[in-house]
């Protein structure tokens, strides 16, 4: 399966411009034969947590979701997008959604680990673990940005059967070791492919790293982006995770009872 990652600079709270950019990326990715396009964290509204919370009218979110599902339908490509959501009790979460090539929703996830004062001021942390669905022959899961930096989150997806982990992110400049070292370690230790799509440029005073990556279940770097806007591609093998888990059976040879005795 061909994966595509969109790395781009969003315009804060300019939903029309951001959706147009996403539309163009989906069109190009579909033309290249990609089965799914992964887009950055909160790309449709721009990454500016405090402004988004203060200025975004949540009653408009269903229309944005339908517009994004329409992009997937129009080009016949799976799509991962990230938006705020508001619970019935009024809590704001950062979410990601996977839709298939018909625009049908397959999977949703709400961010568990919030990063920095702005995120914690604007959003509430979720508690549900990452779910797993079948997508184009891959057992597929999602987490968001900071979540992937915790081994427990990725391991939970892997223990649920995930072979592919899709990760919208908003990683600032100065954290180069996250995509280049940590992401590859996460992919290796839980033996799954990780696709990590970041912003580029500056949004609301935050300078983004770019550097999106696709890492294989053996820790190999399948694709990596530079600092600027880019559409990143990599072929992923449906047997790669199973092969890695047979060669070195990390998941089968865990000793969770012992770890609990250790207090972890």
Active site residues: 41, 111, 145
Contact between residue 9 and residue 200 where contact means Cβ atoms under 8 Å apart? yes
Pairing, β 138-142 against β 164-168: parallel
Q: Could you give the CA distance from residue 162 to residue 133 in angstroms, rounded to a whole number?
A: 8
254: DSSP letter: -
Q: Could you give the CA distance from residue 27 to residue 119 in angstroms, rounded to a whole number?
A: 31
Q: Where are the alpha helices (DSSP H) in the chain?
A: 15-31, 49-55, 61-75, 116-122, 151-159, 177, 183-190, 240-247, 256-262
Q: Which two tokens stand for residue 209?
A: 């790293």
Give CA torsion, residues 248, 251, 255, 257, to 10 deg: 180
């Amino acid at each position: 399966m061909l994966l595509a990652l969109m790395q781009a600079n969003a315009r804060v709270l300019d939903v029309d411009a951001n959706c147009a950019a996403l539309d163009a990326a989906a069109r190009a990715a579909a033309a290249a034969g990609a089965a799914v396009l992964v887009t950055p964290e909160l790309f449709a509204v721009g990454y500016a947590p405090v402004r988004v919370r203060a200025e975004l009218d949540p009653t408009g979110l269903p229309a944005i979701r339908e517009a994004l599902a329409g992009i997937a339908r129009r080009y016949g490509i799976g799509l991962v997008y990230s938006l705020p959501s508001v619970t019935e009790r009024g809590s704001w979460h950062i979410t990601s959604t996977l839709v298939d090539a018909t625009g049908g929703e397959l999977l949703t996830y709400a961010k568990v680990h919030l990063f920095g004062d702005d995120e914690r001021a604007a959003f509430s942390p979720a508690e549900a673990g990452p779910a797993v669905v079948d997508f184009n022959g891959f057992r597929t899961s999602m987490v968001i940005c900071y979540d992937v930096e915790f081994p427990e989150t990725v391991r939970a997806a892997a223990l649920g059967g995930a072979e592919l982990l899709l990760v919208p992110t908003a990683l600032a400049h100065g954290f180069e070791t996250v995509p280049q070292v940590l992401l590859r370690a996460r992919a290796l230790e839980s033996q799954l492919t990780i696709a990590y799509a970041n912003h580029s440029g500056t949004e609301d005073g935050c300078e983004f790293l770019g550097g999106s990556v696709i890492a294989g279940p053996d820790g190999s770097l399948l694709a990596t982006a530079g600092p600027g806007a880019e559409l990143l591609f990599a072929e992923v093998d449906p047997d790669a995770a199973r092969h890695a888990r047979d060669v070195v059976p990390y998941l089968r040879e865990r000793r969770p009872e012992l770890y609990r005795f250790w207090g972890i």
